Amino acid sequence: MVGLDWRLPIQKARALGVSKAIQGNLDPAVLLAPWKVIQEKAAAILDEGMAQPGYIFNLGHGVTPDVRPETLKRLTAFIHEYSERKQQEEA
């Protein structure tokens, strides 16, 4: 498994020859933005990551102390709902 921070796009990592599972890519600073921004960024990352098998959504680095736990719970629920819906649409 290869972990990516937010500075390296998922497709670029794959173009460089990363063929193992990939995780990461959300800039932790996004978690301080309004919910709509968080949702848009997470959806874009999921779209890019799920274009090929072997993607695990994660932050591109750790959670900072100023991030609200409710935001993380809401993001986790969104990731599960969005990825499930996307998989059903593609089936």
Taking only the tens of pLDDT, the chain with its 91 residues reads 888 889 888 988 888 887 789 998 999 999 999 999 999 999 999 999 999 888 999 998 889 999 999 999 999 999 999 999 999 998 7
Structural domains of the chain, count: 1
Cβ atoms of 22 and 55 closer than 8 Å: yes
Determine the pLDDT at residue 17.
Answer: 81
- Give the range of the structural domain holding residue 30, as residue numbers without chain letter: 2-90
Alpha-carbon separation of residue 28 from 34, 42, 69 (angstroms): 13, 11, 13
Neighbours of 31 (CB within 10 A): 20
